[in-house]
Amino acid sequence: MQLRVSQINRCAYCVDLHSREARRAGIAQQ
For the chain, the straight-line distance linking the first and the last C-alpha, in angstroms and rounded, comes to 13
Q: What is the pLDDT, as a whole number, of residue 26?
A: 92
Q: Which helix (H) or strand (E) holds 6?
A: helix 2-9
Q: Is the pTM of this model over 0.85?
A: no
Q: What are the tens digits of pLDDT across the range 1-30?
A: 778 888 898 888 888 888 899 899 998 776
Q: What is the pLDDT, as a whole number, of residue 30?
A: 66
Question: Domain boundaries in the chain?
Answer: 1-30
Q: For residues 1 and 7, give the distance between their C-alpha atoms in angstroms, rounded to a whole number.
A: 10
